[in-house]
Structure 1
């Protein structure tokens, strides 16, 4: 049988909103079943805490400062290798059902003469994926339809005559008088979406994934099934809309002390409109009820999808990866949305089911190894026995952890955030070029470097909820200096030399590789040159 990979990504799903991760009231048996079949990585972190750059790191296996797509709608430049670029030469059909948040490098493609509707141009425009069904989830009426984006047409075929049924049906409710209650507004989150459950976005994209799998047949495939929920608009159809009342909600993680002399950047983000909205307990309760309902719907669809794989007889040959592109503050730390680096935002669920016999010894276990989003690409490439590409891919294969060969891959994880587009930057008077944040977390200490400001520092051993910022405390200057040294070491890595491997550089040598080409440098006499040629292949001095 052919090897297959099902790479499932949710959008804005927190690491702790699964029952297998400890949520006491949100039962997710089908996702939990994946954890029992594989390994749940309990300390997985994204490379950026916002959709676009996080996903570009997932798809390239490279840090944000390496691939350069630092915020939503900043194009991934032409030439960046992606998962599909690595898998297609191995004969693996690499396709997308759902979201990528990819913005094509239109200027770069134009410069190189790549037409967006050509075979190569389409792949470059879609993050290296064959766009079997594209659905980024945001469908304002004025936005131009993207390639193979069919959900609105599907809804119209179901009889909805609305100009934009994505917005007015799938993501709106209605009152007793038939007035629309838009899901864009947080206080409408407790309404049932107008769409029938089977016609809402999560079941629709699941069925499209099944269509692809049936169509692919015996061809090895890697399918990126990318759900656009539980990302806002926070609204879900019956019966999920009222499953989770306030009694099922986790206690809010925030303290008044966080607002007393906070770090200037943290303060600016706490003052953002969305953060202020989540300080209203009634609004927050409505959002969390819908958020939990959206996750429950994803879990139910995961169950349907796993049953389908069993029916097709391919479950035992398919690697399954389940994850999210970032979390959601949901009012924790006086914040809404994501973007900063507290665990509700930067930490993600990550479950990997490797069907290989070598992984049997770790099935059903939980790993506390520090892992990153960039580890997904090398893990998939490793599964297909692809080449080691350390000069391009900065992540590390998770298979040594899955096979029980080691219990750690790295000493720290990195996440980066470009806040130049945010209102907070302007409020702080920070230049665009300086609006950069970098987090380094070593398993105990979480250190955030902020250009032009003091650092932030949290001790997650003594303060697991990250309430106390120690970055301004003189008693922790030495700890900050140590972590800053690690960050400086990491920042000096060579990440742009992607056209030649380290092994090839080692193989070529220096002086004698030039000498073989007739370029004679550094020899005093012809006798010295001839003597060196006679010793070709020996280690160079």
Structure 2
């Protein structure tokens, strides 16, 4: 028995990937993707089938993870870089104060880039971020040459290497090519290599909180060749296209490598999908590599594990790509919890159907560590949804009835509400509305907003959204109706510089 076990305090391992869809797990029924290690975590743990990112892009999603707050409170309702992160209460900060050795390896995507956000140490790789790549107007202490630890490591092993050597942009969701260097130099392998090294150099007298934060499967779609080969001859299904999707692409937007929509040539799209799936299998194998090392260090059975993604990837669904929009491929994320030591008494191998969100990560991990949850946290601990219950207890745990999501995105800005079985979407710049019966139409193929049979349900959800938006600075509602055309910013005024 090690000293952490004697104290009854588990290590906490948070594994996040960037831009992974909810459905890309073998155990969730995906017809192509192979994820044996994640499947095993779900098989011996609990998988949440209705986990969402309320603001599905990197910056606001990570604000929810760090603070445990809704987007209305943490203030990031869209994607905007270079807005300082001044949150006084954070997940790693609370664990550090409680005596945990806290470490992040990989992506943070905060500002300034080297902001510790409560961690004792950060080994950083945010990936390719345009705002710190430009040579004009960027202070040297923020330039990627100065802040990125992976790039420094890579250049020691491949002199002159850069993040753009493959010619792929960080938002190129429709093009792909294999990784051009040794697999061990891939950023996915690097995160695990550095994480294993943390096991060597951690303080053995303290429990640890390790956030392994991968950049992939976010573009560039550059899996090692061996993983791309796995999907070379796979029967990859075409993306679903709803009756509401825009079918015209007269501007040929689908030919652009970083398009957010359009008709992409079929061969290019299939290869991009294959590369995306290959990146996920590569991640899965590297996660398995770390779990083996964790076991070798004698810490696996003293570690609570959580796996999720900050948002999804539309990957051609409805002729759309990337993220930010509220459709399932973008906003619906995987979430798996596992407790090898049995401390939390999880009902192993089950699927929890309650609607959970990234703001629930902070209170859940604090709860698992026995650390008091701060009053500023608005999420809730998910363990009661995942715990085995007495057979005599037939009552379901009390939980939220719905989730409110949004994203400032120009004329494509959205506000939406869902309970995982139905979804109502409002485009506040145009006034367009959509309604999907997810229980019967999980791929969102039919926009039922004009269906007479759905009128009462649509009015129900519209009234909920009105209540969620009351008092907002943008003036989205007067309390009785939704008001289109209001000016909207990516960050709310209480955190603007």
- Structure 2-normalised TM-score? 0.82
Partner of 2:275: 290
Q: Is the 8 A contact 1:278 1:330 kept in 2?
A: no
Q: Is the 8 A contact 2:67 2:91 kept in 1?
A: yes
Q: Using the alignment, how far apart are the partners of 1:183 and 1:271 within structure 2?
A: 14
Residue 166 of structure 1 pairs with residue 166 of structure 2 = no
SS in 2 for 1:34: helix
Relative to its length, the structure with more helix (as a share) is 1
Q: CA deviation at 1:271?
A: 11
Deviation digits for residues 468-512 of structure 1 (CA, Å, limit 9, x no counterpart): 222345654432321133234444699xxxxxxxxxxxxxxxxxx
The gaps in structure 1 that reach 5 residues or longer are 105-115, 117-121, 173-180, 262-268, 426-435, 495-541
The gaps in structure 2 that reach 5 residues or longer are 5-9, 136-141, 390-395, 473-497
Alignment counterpart, residue 94 of structure 1, candidates 98, 102, 122? 102
Partner of 1:84: 92
Q: Using the alignment, how far apart are the partners of 2:222 and 2:128 within structure 1?
A: 14
Q: 1:43 to 1:155 in 2, by over 3 A?
A: same
Q: Using the alignment, how far apart are the partners of 2:352 and 2:128 within structure 1?
A: 35
Partner of 1:152: 151
Deviation digits for residues 399-442 of structure 1 (CA, Å, limit 9, x no counterpart): 1112235456221122221114xxx46xxxxxxxxxx5222102
Q: 1:288 to 1:395 in 2, by over 3 A?
A: same
Q: Is the 8 A contact 1:401 1:408 kept in 2?
A: no
Residue 448 of structure 1 pairs with residue 446 of structure 2 = no
Partner of 1:215: 201
Q: Using the alignment, how far apart are the partners of 1:466 and 1:102 within structure 2?
A: 33
Q: Is the 8 A contact 2:125 2:150 kept in 1?
A: yes
Residue 400 of structure 1 pairs with residue 384 of structure 2 = yes
Alignment counterpart, residue 462 of structure 1, candidates 440, 461, 465? 440
SS in 2 for 1:42: strand
Q: CA deviation at 1:288?
A: 1.0
Q: Using the alignment, how far apart are the partners of 2:243 and 2:454 within structure 1?
A: 23
> Who wins on radius of gyration, i.e. which is larger?
1
Alignment counterpart, residue 72 of structure 2, candidates 65, 68, 78? 65
SS in 1 for 2:259: helix
Residue 308 of structure 1 pairs with residue 293 of structure 2 = yes
Q: CA deviation at 1:285?
A: 0.9
Partner of 1:200: 186
Q: Is the 8 A contact 1:14 1:328 kept in 2?
A: yes
SS in 2 for 1:165: coil
Partner of 2:326: 341
Name the Cα RMSD after superposition: 2.9
Q: Using the alignment, how far apart are the partners of 1:81 and 1:88 within structure 2?
A: 11
Q: CA deviation at 1:29?
A: 0.9
Q: Using the alignment, how far apart are the partners of 1:475 and 1:489 within structure 2?
A: 24
Deviation digits for residues 41-100 of structure 1 (CA, Å, limit 9, x no counterpart): 111011211111011111111111210123231525424421122222211122210102
Q: Using the alignment, how far apart are the partners of 1:238 and 1:350 within structure 2?
A: 28
Q: CA deviation at 1:255?
A: 3.9
Deviates more, 1:337-346 or 1:132-141: 132-141
Residue 134 of structure 1 pairs with residue 124 of structure 2 = yes
Q: Using the alignment, how far apart are the partners of 1:188 and 1:25 within structure 2?
A: 18
Partner of 2:223: 236
Q: CA deviation at 1:184?
A: 6.1
Residue 481 of structure 1 pairs with residue 459 of structure 2 = yes
Q: Is the 8 A contact 1:454 1:472 kept in 2?
A: no
Q: 1:184 to 1:62 in 2, by over 3 A?
A: closer
Q: Is the 8 A contact 2:174 2:264 kept in 1?
A: no
Residue 362 of structure 1 pairs with residue 369 of structure 2 = no
Q: Using the alignment, how far apart are the partners of 2:84 and 2:64 within structure 1?
A: 10
Across the two proteins, how many residue pairs are aligned to each other? Answer: 443
Q: Which has the higher contact order (CA 8 A, sep 6+)?
A: 2
Deviation digits for residues 94-141 of structure 1 (CA, Å, limit 9, x no counterpart): 22101021124xxxxxxxxxxx9xxxxx6xx23333443110011647
Q: Using the alignment, how far apart are the partners of 1:184 and 1:380 within structure 2?
A: 31
Alignment counterpart, residue 252 of structure 1, candidates 231, 239, 248? 239
- Structure 1-normalised TM-score? 0.75
Alignment counterpart, residue 383 of structure 1, candidates 344, 368, 375? 368
Q: Using the alignment, how far apart are the partners of 1:188 and 1:333 within structure 2?
A: 14
